[in-house]
Each structure stands twice: as C-alpha cells, then as structure tokens.
Amino acid sequence: MRPHVVAIAVTDATPTFELAVPCEVFGTDRSDIVDPWYELRMCGDTTRPLRTSAGLRIHTPYGFDDLLDADTVLVAALARATQLAPPAHLVEVLREAHKRGKRIISICTGAYVLAAAGLLTGRTATTHWMNAGDFAHRFPDVDFTPAALYTDEGDILTSAGTGSAIDLCLHLVRQDHGAAVANEVARRMVVPPHREGGQSQYTRPMARAERSDELAPVLNWAQERLHEQLTVPQLARVASLGERTFARRFKERLGITPLQWLLQQRVRLAQELLESTDEPVETIARRTGFGTAANLRYHFGRVTTVSPQTYRHVFRHRAAQQNRLASTSAG
C-alpha cells in the first residue's frame, strides 16, 4: 500500500510556523502508529531559491506541476505580496487539481490563492482574523466565516491563522486514520487533540487572568473523569473560582459552555472507543459518562449525525479496505 501523498505549495517568504506545522504532522515518520504514514513533498518555483519569512532556506525538489500527483494539495500561508498577486501557474494547477478530485487545503492566508482560483466561490472558508475585512472585500462570493478555526467542505478545507494550522492538520489525520491516531499525534506534539470554539476568542487582548493556561488543570481533571457525572459547580471548585466567574471565563476562552465542552469530550472519547475496542455500546455509554446506551445514541447522533453503530461500521469498513489494499500491494 503506497503512502498518502501530501504536497505543499510553497511560495517565497512564507511564514515559518504555518509551514512548519504540516511538516511536523505529515513529514515526521510516524510509521510506528500507522504504516505507511504520509509522504510529504515540497513544491515550489524551482528556478530560484525560496526562504521563509524568517530567512530559512526551503528545499523544494518538486515544482508546482507535481502537485497534481498528490492525494492532498496544501497551500501554505503567504507573504502579503503573494496574497495580492499569487503565481498564475499555481492558480492554474490548483484548478486542475480540483478537477481531478484532489483534496485541497489552505493554511491561514493560503486561502487567498484558493479564492483567486475560484475554488471557494459559494463555499464556506476562513483565514486569519486580521485579514477578515480584506478577504471578505476581495472575495465577496465566498461564504467567509471569520470566527472558525477551520472549515471543512469535504474536498476543500481552510484554516484560520497560525495555531489553527495544528487544528486543521490534526483534523485531517482524524479523517484519514481515526480519532485514536490523531490523539496520539497530538500527544506527541504536546498539543490538545481538538480545541473548542473559534478564533473569535483571540481577536481581542485578553486580561492576564484570562490566559488559556488558567483552565488547563480543570480541563485535564475533567478529561480523566468523563465517566463520572460532572457538574459545573464541581468544575468551578476544582478551578478555585466562583461558579459564575468560572462559566464566564470558560465561555470567553473556549467559545462554548462547560456543559457543551463536556458533551463534546464524551463524544470524542466514544469515537475512540468505537474505533479501537469491541466493547458494546452499553459499556461505552458508561465509560463516557452518558450512563445509558439510549443517552449515548442521542447525543452521539446530535454531534456526529450518525449512530454509534454506524460510526463503528464505517470506520471498520474503511480499515478493512486499507488492509485489503495493503495485502494486494504486498502480493
């Protein structure tokens, strides 16, 4: 079975962090988790040297035409000059990649190139909140959602700025290999496997008392006790805050209420157990704090739009297909 090829379209003076994230997620050998892992290819203008915004030299042994050989095409963030005038050849290649059914991703301001290629017309998309007004003005036919950390339209996905590149890349791993694998990659990167809320929580300065690390201890405490019947007063006590203050700060930092966060964490744990164990739904319901299979089915369906049984079947079917392909390739 050949690896899934992720090809990054790199332009000169690209922001360093936004380029480093997909390199870390897809370019690091993680064949001890999934074999084969992804194959990463750097594609750019091969006629001249390219550097990041920090001056680091970028080795791009592949050209833009090689993007067409990839399974996933990823457009890295752009310098301002490139946002306003993206390479014409790159724009044409992206259009052709879309015609061929490639999965196309943009990181941060890479959305400008996708929009210039007409790939975002009538679609939901996002980019860094600092570019919200400019992007919406330049591309009025795009359903721009400035609050989202990332958007997923199936074949086209976009991320907001900087740190949200991690959210989108882990989302892709979750799509391709399941929640358990994405969680393990996140653990090795020492980042949350999934952040709640949107980038609107970052669009204004936060007071010192509202730093994200303030809630980290109570979030970790709760994640270890999802099987228990947790309440907001309990969480507030663990955070050493009054209940109203805790609820307010939680909503400000994560964009959702504590109870909404607990529900989503329980559903994600249920997904992982459905993927990685043969435990019956009733057992998974108890382990995830839903109590009964009926409660699990109700809340799981609301969040994922499918039943636990359907989710398990689809995931197992996909895994079986991959195994068959691997066996065929080996033979």
Cα separation, 188 vs 170, in Å, equals 12
Give the helix ranges, DSSP H, for the chain: 16-27, 80-84, 88-99, 111-116, 132-138, 164-177, 179-189, 216-223, 232-238, 243-254, 258-276, 281-287, 293-304, 308-330
What are the structural domains of the chain? 5-188 (3.40.50.880), 212-313 (1.10.10.60)
CA distances from 214 to 235, 238, 241 (A): 13, 11, 11
Predicted local confidence at residue 218, as pLDDT: 92
* Contact indicator for 261, 230 with CB cutoff of 8 Å: no
Query: Does the pLDDT at position 75 exceed 90?
Result: yes
CA distances from 225 to 32, 56, 123, 287 (A): 29, 44, 39, 9
Residue-wise pLDDT for 126-159, tens only, equals 998 888 878 988 999 999 888 788 999 999 999 9
* Contact indicator for 33, 67 with CB cutoff of 8 Å: no
Predicted local confidence at residue 231, as pLDDT: 95
- Which pLDDT band, with edges at 50, 70 and 90, does 224 fall under? very high
Cα separation, 26 vs 210, in Å, equals 33
